[in-house]
């Protein structure tokens, strides 16, 4: 989604802003822009398309010395919501005087009413955006103190915002504020960087301040002063990012997605390390360190999430039911938040979110808190809003995930959910022996995944047979059903092949009508309970001419024989088997997309972190 970078410091703001925007490219966007202060004026450059187009534009239009001398500026990558991704709709937007520039993430919901009021006062708007309305509103409120003007304007808006504001009249500061859209301030040595995502900050400093909702900050090169919207000072700690700049680079791989697939053995080892207890046959999760008694009183697990995180929850559902013997449900977060869910203090709500910023998941967390549920988060991004608001949770420690298509976050989510279910289970009916068996299987996940990754070349060969397909159907049963859903999601989002995931039993209730000679069916038929039924469904597909690519367990020759071609994954406990199986499908999707020359890391229309509803 949209990205913000702001810089105030020693010099070369344009170059620093462009580098920051590049770091945010992975979030998904369709236009970009920046504004710097030069010679007492706000100077703006914008372009539709990529940051590279913006760079070219600024190089053409701006004098060279602006690049070396301008020392304060704000920049933005826009993911279109109000109006198409054109240059004029790109941020920054200026106020009526042209002296104030604004970049904005989020949505100003009452922008139409505000725009009409401002137009009646003679304001003229150039774009279709809600952001330009806010820029004009700030200008209208400005009586010589840009901080106060932003406060006053924000009191008048409804909706969500993460913003950075620059005024030519007060060149020593950037004003930044947030409500529902993240802002992180990096505190450097004689320079301060603002960003919507820490990955734009890591090259400068590890010391950051996370703004909370309704915080507004006066950011100078050597100070950060935070207040609330009523101008009352608030205290926010400086935190250590603990992120490595190299982790956010491609490191020799053609795509971030491929790098992140290959990082999975290590990411999973990080997610699992020190969290299994082989004496008790349980897990040790600091974020779940509530008393066993309190945990045993929870009667229901409700997982909420979106996209890939939702699929991880669906695997978790099997784990909680089987290992913990507790009712478990998974809800799409947007559905959950608006459905007025029935919740109480015995419900254990787990918010699953890689980024920790997804708007619907965050709203679901607030709803669950409101209703008195026991709420925990499962996030990857340390210090993210969901992680902070839940107050208790388990981090994935998977390292930064840059590719829009989530891979290592998914497998780490599943691994952590398995450990959570194990812990909950051991406080109930799960025996030490079975707990131990599951713990050992979880411990072997990195090795199982490494074995699948070794087959990347073989999977790339198989992928050639699917490059020309326009439709594909993924099927599975039990815990392999969410794996099929995730496999279909991976393929469709990066290769643009229409892919659907179905429960294998559901095929007969409609989708089978779509099968004709050669239709590809990707069947997750690992040797786990329900496999024989899946094999039966495969036969039904074959009888109608479908072409079957099977994901089968090593050594299961009978299953392999049912397939036209297959990928083998190592044998393991049936819940754990979901992880190597999905890795095979990640590689399959990657290789098909690569052969189709797709923009793998930034697929069209998609965003890494969806901070609007």
CB 95 within 8 A of CB 138: yes
Under rule CB under 6 A, which residues in 387-416 are in contact with ligand G6P?
Answer: 404, 406
Q: Which is nearer to ligand G6P, 1 or 224 (CB)?
A: 1
CB of 182 to ligand G6P, least distance (A): 12
- Figure out which of the listed residues 55, 354, 578, 586 binds ligand G6P, where binding follows CB under 6 A: 354
Name the active-site residue from 2, 151, 562, 598: 2
Around Cβ 116, how many Cβ atoms within 10 Å?
Answer: 10
Cα separation of 488 and 490, whole Å?
Answer: 5
- Rule CB under 6 A: say whether 385 interacts with ligand G6P: no
Given the structure tokens 């090259």, which residue do they identify? 203
- Torsion over CA of 325, 326, 331 and 336, rounded to 10 degrees? 180
Which helix (H) or strand (E) is 370 found in, with range?
A: helix 359-370
Please tell me whether residue 355 binds ligand G6P under the rule CB under 6 A: yes
Beta strands 224-228 and 565-569: pairing type? Answer: unpaired
181 is a site residue for ligand G6P (CB under 6 A): no
- For ligand G6P, give the closer residue by CB, 23 or 136: 23
- Give the shortest CB-408-to-ligand G6P separation in angstroms: 11
Query: Is 463 within 8 Å of 588 (Cβ atoms)?
Result: yes
Rounded CA separation 613/202 (Å): 28
Nearest distance in Å: CB 552, ligand G6P: 27
Stretch near ligand G6P under the rule CB under 6 A, chosen from 7-15, 350-358, 414-422, 594-602: 350-358
Q: Is 280 exposed, middle or buried (0-12, 13-18, 19+ CB in 10 A)?
A: middle
Could you give the CA distance from residue 206 to residue 12 in angstroms, rounded to a whole number? 20
Q: Which is nearer to ligand G6P, 160 or 361 (CB)?
A: 361
Could you tell me which stretch among 5-13, 47-55, 110-118, 603-611 binds ligand G6P (CB under 6 A)? 603-611
Q: What are phi and psi of 217, to 5 degrees?
A: -125, 145
According to CB under 6 A, which one of 361, 377, 390, 586 is a site residue for ligand G6P? Answer: 361
Residue 105 makes contact with ligand G6P by CB under 6 A: no
Q: Is 199 one of the binding residues for ligand G6P (CB under 6 A)?
A: no
**CB 493 to ligand G6P: min, Å:** 7
If the CB atoms of residues 392 and 451 are measured against ligand G6P, the closer one turns out to be: 392
Return the residue of 308, 377, 537, 553 that touches ligand G6P, per CB under 6 A: 308
Cα–Cα dist 23/17, whole Å: 10
Indicate whether 608 belongs to the interface with ligand G6P (CB under 6 A).
Answer: yes
The pairing of strands 72-78 and 3-8 is antiparallel
At 31, which helix (H) or strand (E)?
strand 31-38
- Closest approach, Cβ 489 to ligand G6P, in A, equals 8
- Verify cis geometry, omega within 30 degrees of 0, for the bond prior to 110: no
Tokens describing residue 506 = 């559901």
Q: How many residues bind ligand G6P (CB under 6 A)?
A: 15
Q: How far apart are CA 498 and CA 596, in angstroms?
A: 14
Contact call for residue 609 and ligand G6P (CB under 6 A): yes
Active site residue 2: yes
**CA distance linking residue 16 with residue 34, whole number of Å:** 11
Exactly one of 203, 238, 269, 606 binds ligand G6P (CB under 6 A); that residue is: 606
Q: Which range in 56-64, 142-150, 248-256, 601-609 contacts ligand G6P by CB under 6 A? A: 601-609
For the bound state, the minimum distance from the C-beta of residue 137 to ligand G6P, rounded and expressed in Å, comes to 30
DSSP assigned state of 519 = -
Residue whose Cβ sits closest to ligand G6P: 307
Residue span binding ligand G6P (CB under 6 A) among the ranges 53-61, 251-259, 347-355, 560-568: 347-355
* N-terminal to C-terminal alpha carbon distance within the chain: 12
Q: Which of 71, 89, 358, 537 binds ligand G6P (CB under 6 A)?
A: 358
Sheet harboring 184-187: ordered strands across? 41-48, 31-38, 72-78, 3-8, 192-195, 184-187, 207-210, 239-240
Nearest distance from residue 404's CB to ligand G6P, in Å?
A: 5
Shortest spacing between CB 194 and ligand G6P, in angstroms? 21
Indicate whether 306 belongs to the interface with ligand G6P (CB under 6 A).
Answer: yes
Q: How does strand 547-553 pair with strand 520-524?
A: parallel
Q: What are the residues whose beta carbons fall under 8 Å from the beta carbon of 175, sequence distance 6 or more?
A: 146, 147, 150, 163, 164, 165, 167, 216, 217, 218, 219
Q: Which is nearer to ligand G6P, 105 or 353 (CB)?
A: 353
Whether 533 sits among the annotated catalytic residues: the reply is no
Question: In this complex, which beta carbon is closest to ligand G6P, that of residue 175 or of residue 402?
Answer: 402
Is 307 one of the binding residues for ligand G6P (CB under 6 A)? yes
- Calpha distance 406→264 (Å, rounded): 11
Residues carrying an active site annotation: 2, 608
Binding site for ligand G6P (CB under 6 A): 306-309, 353-355, 358, 361, 404, 406, 606, 608-610
């Amino acid at each position: 989604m949209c990205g913000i970078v702001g810089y105030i410091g020693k010099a070369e703001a344009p170059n620093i802003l462009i580098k920051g925007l590049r770091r945010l490219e992975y979030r998904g966007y369709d236009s970009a822009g920046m504004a710097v202060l030069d010679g007492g004026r706000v100077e703006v450059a914008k372009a539709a398309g990529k940051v590279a187009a913006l760079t070219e534009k600024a190089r053409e239009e701006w004098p060279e010395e602006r690049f070396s001398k301008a020392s304060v500026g704000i920049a933005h990558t826009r993911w279109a919501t109000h109006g198409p991704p054109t240059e004029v709709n790109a941020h920054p937007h200026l106020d009526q005087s042209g002296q104030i520039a604004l970049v904005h993430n989020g949505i100003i919901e009452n922008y139409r009413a505000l725009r009409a009021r401002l137009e009646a006062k003679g304001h003229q708007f150039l774009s279709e955006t809600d952001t330009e309305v806010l820029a004009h509103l700030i200008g209208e409120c400005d009586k010589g103190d840009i901080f106060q003007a932003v406060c006053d304007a924000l009191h008048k808006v409804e909706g969500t915002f993460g913003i950075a504001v620059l005024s030519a009249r007060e060149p020593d500061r950037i004003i930044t504020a947030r409500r529902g859209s993240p802002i992180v301030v990096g505190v450097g040595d004689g320079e301060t960087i603002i960003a919507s995502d820490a990955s734009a900050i890591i090259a400068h400093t590890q010391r950051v301040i996370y703004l909370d909702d309704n915080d507004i900050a006066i950011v100078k090169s050597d100070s950060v002063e935070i207040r609330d919207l009523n101008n009352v000072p608030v205290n926010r700690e400086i935190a250590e990012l603990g992120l490595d700049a190299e982790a956010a680079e491609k490191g020799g791989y053609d795509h971030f997605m491929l790098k992140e697939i290959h990082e999975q053995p290590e990411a999973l080892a990080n997610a699992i390390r020190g969290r299994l207890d082989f004496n008790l046959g349980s897990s040790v999760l600091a974020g779940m360190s509530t008393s066993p008694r309190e945990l045993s009183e929870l009667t229901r697990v409700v997982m909420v999430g979106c996209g890939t995180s939702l699929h991880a929850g669906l695997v978790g559902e099997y784990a909680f039911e089987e290992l913990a013997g507790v009712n478990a449900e998974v809800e799409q977060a947007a559905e959950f938040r608006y459905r007025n869910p029935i919740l109480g203090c015995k419900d254990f709500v787990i918010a699953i979110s890689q980024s920790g910023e997804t708007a619907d998941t965050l709203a679901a967390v607030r709803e669950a808190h409101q209703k008195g549920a026991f709420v925990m988060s499962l996030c990857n991004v340390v210090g993210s809003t969901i992680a902070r608001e839940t107050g208790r949770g388990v981090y994935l420690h998977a390292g930064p995930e840059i590719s829009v298509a989530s891979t290592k976050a998914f497998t780490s989510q599943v691994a952590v959910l398995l450990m959570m279910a194990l812990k909950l289970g051991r406080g109930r009916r799960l025996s030490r022996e079975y707990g131990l068996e599951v713990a050992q299987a979880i411990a072997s996940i990195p090795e199982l995944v490494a074995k699948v990754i070794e087959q990347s070349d073989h999977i790339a060969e198989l992928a050639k047979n699917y490059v020309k397909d326009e439709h594909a159907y993924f099927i599975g049963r039990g815990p392999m059903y969410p794996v099929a859903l995730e496999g279909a999601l991976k393929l469709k989002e990066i290769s643009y092949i229409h892919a659907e995931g179905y429960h294998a039993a559901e095929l007969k209730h409609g989708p089978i009508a779509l099968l004709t000679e050669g239709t590809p069916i990707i069947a997750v038929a690992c040797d786990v309970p329900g496999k024989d039924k899946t094999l039966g469904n495969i036969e039904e597909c074959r009888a109608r001419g479908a072409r079957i690519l099977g994901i089968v367990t090593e050594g299961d020759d009978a299953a392999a024989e049912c397939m036209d071609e297959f990928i083998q994954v190592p044998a393991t406990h049936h819940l754990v088997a979901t992880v190597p199986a999905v890795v095979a499908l990640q590689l399959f999707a990657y290789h098909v997309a690569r052969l189709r020359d797709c923009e793998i890391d930034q697929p069209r229309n998609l965003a890494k972190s969806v901070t609007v509803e």
